[in-house]
Each structure stands twice: as structure tokens, then as C-alpha cells.
């Protein structure tokens, strides 16, 4: 009987283990997680959970009983310190050794933190990556408190929306020329800048953090333009780095993530990877897709391939973000776009990314209908002419039949 070990009990790891069982794998499965909690959803941490609108138990992907019923050995609070690829074994903290026939790395990512030299380790400085982070910062969200957010990506903006709704005074600083610069078009940045400004968030673009101030706890900040701010706590949202240390220790090829082939196999024939930690071949180049949808789909594809399916994974990227009463839905990847088409229908709005005449992606703000149409067009490889999308009289649904 073969033994599959999965390191990383997040969305990808849980999806992989579940798919192995649903596809009929009868061998031993061990799912290892460093956190004490069973696998849970991460997106609500910076939204509904932080707002107090989602109970802790609702975060969990499955009840613990599921793992027992399906003969999946779930070991939480368990850290892996080394992988020996030659011996096909892993060493746990405490020197326990487990052997495997196949190993899946679903180790996720780590939030980038501020260095201690500029106050990054002061009390009251938080990231939003795991349940412990969310629980630690939740008591800080008191009306009237002053919050500084460093970073204008989706995590920072979602945290700003929660804080503003709860009555905090929020300043968000983004070192780049605009918020969302790395991931979205200027039109999308403008939309969310206006949305946050309307809710009282003070967004400062093109200005970075010089350093945080305070003795043991943060009490203020000095910005790169010389401005000084008083603050009661700080949230850092300046991106993530893939968790590749175990893969590197095993001699597995890594480059901005664990490098995998189309089936999810790494440079070692018995080691696989999926989720935020993994890069996959997308349109001729190795790409990491940081999303829940990819974590699930890629992990399930890897599970099937571990069982011999030999089916290349074809990603269908989709993302979402909730801010105030706006639901942003994104389909596709906008890398390499040369043109943006804006479509407005009533209170809804969508931004369509083109590379010349090829449709790459769509950002839809409170526009689920056009999001679904865009997603289906992209997945089908269809590219309506940009002027057709821009025309408010276009029958969008008819484009699917063209």
C-alpha cells in the first residue's frame, strides 16, 4: 500500500487530499499542517471574519470528523524541518521521521514583513495571513482608533474597508504611483481609490514608509516625504513570498516558487507541488497564480496525476475581492495587456484587458453578469472586438454564440 504525504494543510493541501480519496486512492494519506487549526478558508480573514460577520467554525473547510471518516491522517501543529528526497523521507520537529512514496508540497506563502530596523517588530504591527493574525488584531478594531496600512494591494484595501466600516480613522500609504499598480489597470485603481475616498480613507500614493516610531509599541510613522503620522496600530500588506524552503532543502528546482511541469511534478519524480508555492507553465513561461481557485484546481489536478492520469493542468484563473458593498470579480490574467475597454451598465462597471485584439482578462465591479460572460469568452479563447465591448448597446450574451 502506498503512502502519500501532503505538507501544508491549507486550501491546496486539503483539496489534494480530498481529491485523492474521491478519485478512489486507497493508500495512506498524511496531511501535515504547522497551524493548530484544521484546514480553513483564508479570504474571509480580511473581510467577513475580521468584521465579526463569520464565526470561526464556518472558516473550516471540513469538520475534523471528515478526515477520520475518510482515513486521512491530519496532523496539525506539526512542523516539517527537512525533506530527504533520496531517502523519500521527511523529518518533523522533534526528530520524528516519516517515509513517503509520493510527496506533495502545498506549503503556500509567507507575508512580507517590515524589517526590524524600521520598526517592523514593534508591538501593534500586524500582517493578515492566517487565523492567528486575524485573532491577534481583531481587538484593535475599535471606532476612533488610528490605523496605518502599508501597501495598496487587495489585502490592504480589504483591511481598510473593514476598518472604515467599523469607524476607524484610516491612512493607507502606497509606495508605487498608484494602488493596485502590480495587479490592475489604472482604471481599476481609480475606481477603488474613489470608493475608499468616499468612505473616508486617506490614500497616499507615491509615498513610502521611512520608519515606524515607538518604544516597544508602535505609536507613529515617518513617511518618505517627511510627513509624520500618529497611529494606534499598523497593518502591513506588501505582498507575499512563496514558501520554498523545504523544496530547496530537498534539491528541488525553485525560481519564484517551486517549479513544476504541466502535471504538477517537480524536478524530483516523487515530489509534486500545488497552490501559491508552485509555478506552472502558462503561455510559455513559469507563472505563480495566487488565488483560491487555482489552489483548488491545481491541487485536484495534481491528485489525479499522482494516481497516473497524466493530464496537463489548464488553469482558468479567477479572483475576487469584497470592499464595502462592492464585489470585484476578476477572470483571466492581464499580463501583457496593451489596451483597456471600460463598459458601464447602470451602477455596474467592467474593465476589459486586451493585448492588441486578444481578450486577456476582465475586472467586474458589481457586475456579475459581465464577469461570467467575460470568463466564458476567455476560457473559450474568444475575443470580441474591443469596440463591440465598449458599445453599451451590444448584446453581451450573444457574444458567447458568435
**Which structural domain, as residue segments, surrounds residue 199?**
113-236
271 belongs to a structural domain: yes
311 belongs to a structural domain: no
Check whether residue 125 and residue 273 sit in a common domain.
no
In the DSSP assignment, the letter for residue 73 is: E
**Of the residues 263, 279, 306, the one at which a domain ends:** 306
What is the per-residue DSSP string for 217-261?
Answer: B--EEEETTS-EEE-SEEEE---EEE--HHHHHTT--BSSSEE--
Query: Residue 178 sits in a domain of what CATH number?
Result: 3.50.50.60
Look at residue 173 and tell me whether its pLDDT is greater than 70: yes
Check whether residue 365 and residue 339 sit in a common domain.
yes
312 belongs to a structural domain: no
Cα(222)–Cα(214) distance, integer angstroms = 11
Helix (H/G/I), strand (E/B), else coil: 309: coil
**Of the residues 218, 236, 254, the one at which a domain ends:** 236
Q: Give 63: exposed, middle or buried? Use CB within 10 Å, 0-12, 13-18, 19+.
A: exposed
160 belongs to a structural domain: yes
For Cα atoms 178, 184, 190, give the angle at the middle one, nearest 5 degrees.
50
Cα(44)–Cα(135) distance, integer angstroms = 12
Check whether residue 132 and residue 193 sit in a common domain.
yes
314 belongs to a structural domain: no
Contact 292, 46 (CB under 8 A): no
Check whether residue 100 and residue 247 sit in a common domain.
yes
Report the share of the chain in percent with pLDDT over 90.
94
Cα(396)–Cα(351) distance, integer angstroms = 14
284 belongs to a structural domain: yes
**Of the residues 190, 216, 236, the one at which a domain ends:** 236
The predicted-structure confidence for 239-294, as pLDDT tens digits, reads as follows 999 999 999 999 999 999 999 999 999 999 999 999 999 999 877 788 999 999 99
259 belongs to a structural domain: yes
What is the per-residue DSSP string for 95-126?
Answer: S-EEE-SEEEE---EEE----GGGTTTSBTEE
Q: Hey, what's the cell of 59?
A: 472558516
The predicted-structure confidence for 337-357, as pLDDT tens digits, reads as follows 999 999 998 889 999 999 999
Check whether residue 346 and residue 394 sit in a common domain.
yes
What was the pLDDT predicted at 162? 96
Check whether residue 51 and residue 91 sit in a common domain.
yes
CA-only gyration radius of the chain, Å:
22
Check whether residue 337 and residue 349 sit in a common domain.
yes
358 belongs to a structural domain: yes
Neighbours of 357 (CB within 10 A): 11
* Total structural domains within the chain: 3
Amino acid at each position: 500500500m502506498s503512502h502519500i504525504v501532503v505538507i501544508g494543510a491549507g486550501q491546496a493541501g486539503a483539496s489534494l487530499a480530498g481529491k485523492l480519496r474521491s478519485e478512489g486512492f486507497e493508500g495512506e494519506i498524511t496531511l501535515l499542517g504547522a497551524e493548530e487549526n484544521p484546514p480553513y478558508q483564508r479570504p474571509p480573514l480580511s473581510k467577513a471574519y475580521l468584521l465579526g460577520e463569520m464565526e470561526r467554525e464556518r472558516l473550516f473547510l471540513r469538520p475534523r470528523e471528515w478526515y477520520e471518516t475518510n482515513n486521512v491522517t491530519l496532523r496539525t501543529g506539526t512542523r516539517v524541518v527537512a525533506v530527504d528526497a533520496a531517502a523519500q523521507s521527511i523529518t518533523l520537529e522533534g526528530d520524528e521521521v516519516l517515509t513517503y512514496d509520493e510527496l506533495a508540497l502545498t506549503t503556500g506563502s509567507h507575508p512580507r514583513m517590515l524589517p526590524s530596523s524600521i520598526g517592523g517588530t514593534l508591538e501593534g504591527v500586524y500582517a493578515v495571513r492566517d487565523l492567528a493574525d486575524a485573532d491577534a488584531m481583531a481587538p484593535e478594531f475599535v471606532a476612533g482608533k488610528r490605523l496605518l496600512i502599508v501597501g495598496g494591494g487587495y489585502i490592504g484595501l480589504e483591511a481598510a474597508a473593514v476598518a472604515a466600516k467599523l469607524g476607524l480613522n484610516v491612512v493607507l500609504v502606497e509606495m508605487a504611483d498608484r494602488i493596485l499598480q502590480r495587479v490592475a489597470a489604472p482604471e481599476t485603481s481609480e475606481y477603488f481609490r474613489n470608493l475608499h475616498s468616499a468612505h473616508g480613507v486617506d490614500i497616499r500614493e507615491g509615498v513610502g514608509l521611512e520608519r515606524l516610531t515607538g518604544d516597544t509599541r508602535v505609536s507613529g510613522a515617518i513617511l518618505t516625504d517627511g510627513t509624520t503620522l500618529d497611529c494606534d496600530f499598523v497593518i502591513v500588506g506588501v505582498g507575499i513570498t512563496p514558501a520554498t524552503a523545504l523544496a530547496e532543502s530537498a534539491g528541488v528546482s525553485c525560481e519564484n516558487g517551486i517549479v513544476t511541469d504541466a502535471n504538477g511534478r517537480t524536478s524530483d519524480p516523487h515530489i509534486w507541488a500545488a497552490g501559491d508555492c508552485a509555478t506552472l507553465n502558462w503561455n510559455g513561461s513559469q507563472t505563480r497564480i495566487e488565488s483560491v481557485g487555482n489552489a483548488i484546481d491545481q491541487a485536484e489536478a495534481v491528485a489525479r496525476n499522482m494516481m497516473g492520469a497524466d493530464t496537463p493542468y489548464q488553469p482558468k484563473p479567477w479572483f475576487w475581492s469584497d470592499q464595502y458593498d462592492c464585489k470585484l470579480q476578476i477572470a483571466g490574467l492581464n499580463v501583457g495587456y496593451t489596451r483597456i475597454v471600460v463598459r458601464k451598465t447602470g451602477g455596474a462597471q467592467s474593465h476589459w484587458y486586451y493585448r492588441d485584439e486578444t481578450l486577456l482578462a476582465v475586472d467586474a465591479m458589481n457586475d456579475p453578469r459581465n464577469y461570467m460572460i467575460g470568463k466564458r469568452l476567455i476560457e473559450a479563447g474568444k475575443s470580441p472586438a474591443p469596440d463591440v465591448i465598449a458599445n453599451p448597446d451590444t448584446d453581451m450574451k450573444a457574444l458567447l454564440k458568435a
